[in-house]
Structure formats: C-alpha cells, structure tokens
C-alpha cells in the first residue's frame, strides 16, 4: 500500500537513468542549476529526486526514486562529485517550480502487501537460480569466472530492485516500468521471464561454441 505522505522534493532529471532503492548512484555535478540544487540539499536533509528523462520524447517520468547524498567532493572550479543511495520511490504530483532547478510535490510509493508469501519466495528462488545460470553461462562464453556479489539481497522485494538496477543499461524503458510496479510478485515475474530468455540464448551460444571447439579439435587431430 502506498504511503500518502506528501513533501516537496528537488528533482534531478537524467536521460535514461533509473535509480532503484538501496542502489548506489555516483554523479558528476557541473551545471550551475544543479550546483545550486546540491548546495540546497546539503543544507537540508541531503535528499533529492532522480527521475528519468526519455531522450527521444524529452518527457520526464512520473515515478522516480529519492537519492540521499552519502559523499560529496567539490573541486576548485565548483564542480562536485557525489555518491548517492536510492531511498523511497515517489510519484510526482505537480511541479512547484522550474528555476533555478525543478522541484515538485511528491508522494511516496511502496509495494502492496504480500498475501502469498510462499509463492513469492518460490518465485524469488527461481529468479535467483536463473540469475546464477546467466552469470555462469556468461562467464563460460567469456572464458573467465564471473560471480555475483556476496551481498546479493535475500528478500524478494530487495532482490527485484537489485536486478532492476543491474539490467542492460540500454533497457532504461524496461527499468522504468519495473520501478513503477507496486507488485513485488509481478516485478519478479517479469524479471524471471527476461532472465530465462537470456539464459536460453546463452545456453544455445554455449552449445554452438562447444560444437565449434570440438570440430576444431577433430580437424587438428586429423591434420596431425
């Protein structure tokens, strides 16, 4: 269920960038308006909203994620390098100002209450298994060991946010759709379908690679 608490939040629109809760986002602040935004948030609660801008339509998404500044370093010429952490998701209600930077009234968003915990946990396990298969097959094709981080989230909702954040960076539209969902089961279901599709493609490429490798070995043996 959504939390209907409303507040004003400075916005940082970014082309094809989708921030998820509990994910890190480093940013380079150089435009004067965003320097002012950073100064403003550092003087308050260190929070601002990250929202995706569609690079083709230039339209701003209605749902974004609050970012909290964890670290910041400002150079002599006024540019800043910051590290932020995704917090709550929000929905933009209305724009309150456009200059010097954009601000909006927002309402916080949360996933709906889970009724079928067993089914959700089973789906989460399937997603985890598919994710591991994708990583293993990717490593095999690349000829190197690829591993998942030790701190991969265990809880279904947090796992779905982590996977959403680590999709192909060219899939920002799909990332935005996942961010906007308030049904953990539906988010994991979509991610399982994507991972399963990728797993099947990688498996086929692995078989082809092994077949070609065996064929080359047979040719070498014959030549010998």
Strands 80-97 and 103-109: antiparallel
What would the two tokens of residue 181 be? 């969902």
Which pTM value belongs to this model? 0.88
On the question of pLDDT at 221 being above 60, the answer is no
Fold of 6-109: 2.30.130
Q: Give residue-wise pLDDT tens across range 105-162.
A: 999 999 999 999 999 999 999 999 999 999 999 998 988 888 888 889 999 999 999 9
On the question of pLDDT at 73 being above 50, the answer is yes
Higher-confidence residue: 168 or 26? 26
C-beta neighbour count of 87 within 10 angstroms: 16
Distance CA 207, CA 25 (A): 37
Are residues 16 and 55 in contact, defined by beta-carbon separation less than 8 angstroms?
A: yes
């Amino acid at each position: 269920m959504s939390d209907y608490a409303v507040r004003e939040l400075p916005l940082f629109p970014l082309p094809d960038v989708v921030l998820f809760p509990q994910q890190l986002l480093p940013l380079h602040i150089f435009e004067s308006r965003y320097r002012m935004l950073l100064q403003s948030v550092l003087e308050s609660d260190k929070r601002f909203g990250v929202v995706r801008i569609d690079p083709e339509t230039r339209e701003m998404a209605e749902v974004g994620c609050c970012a909290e500044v964890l670290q910041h370093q400002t150079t002599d010429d006024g540019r800043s390098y910051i590290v932020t952490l995704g917090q709550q998701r929000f929905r933009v209600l209305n724009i309150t100002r456009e200059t010097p930077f954009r601000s909006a009234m927002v309402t916080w968003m949360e996933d709906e209450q889970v009724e079928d915990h067993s089914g959700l946990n089973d789906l989460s396990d399937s997603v985890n298994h598919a994710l591991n298969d994708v990583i293993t097959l990717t490593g095999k094709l690349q000829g190197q060991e690829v591993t998942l981080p030790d701190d991969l989230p265990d809880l279904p909702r947090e796992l779905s946010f982590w996977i959403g954040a680590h999709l192909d960076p060219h899939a920002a539209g799909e990332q935005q759709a996942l961010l906007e969902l308030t049904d953990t089961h539906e988010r994991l279901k979509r991610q399982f379908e994507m991972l399963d599709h990728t797993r099947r493609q990688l498996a086929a490429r692995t078989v082809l690679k092994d077949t070609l490798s065996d064929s080359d070995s047979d040719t070498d043996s014959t030549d010998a």
